[in-house]
Amino acid sequence: MFKEIGAYDAKAKLSEILRKVRTGQRYTITIRGEPVADLVPYGSGRKGDASAAVAAMLALKKVKGISGEEIESWIAEGRT
């Protein structure tokens, strides 16, 4: 789970935050409450992103009742 931290606090406590990230803590850095970046341990994003992408694809609803020709025409129109 990500902990939120403001950009000012992240800058002031960077060394401490990096030590925690090294042990697995994840942070979302915000500016005025709006998320702008995630700080995660090095290399952790690659495997997690792929797993999350696969899970998201498997969760998609199946499209029924649309012919292959219609899908091909959509692709030709750039509606992918």
End-to-end CA separation in angstroms for the chain: 32
Average pLDDT over the chain, rounded to whole? 88
Q: How confident is the model at residue 64 (pLDDT cuts 50, 70, 90)?
A: confident
CA distances from 38 to 10, 16, 31, 50 (A): 12, 16, 12, 17
Alpha carbon distance 43, 73 (integer Å): 40
Of residues 43 and 7, more confidence is placed in 7
Query: pTM (2 decimals)?
Result: 0.54
Q: Which domains are present in the chain? A: 2-77 (3.40.1620.10)
57-70 average pLDDT score = 85
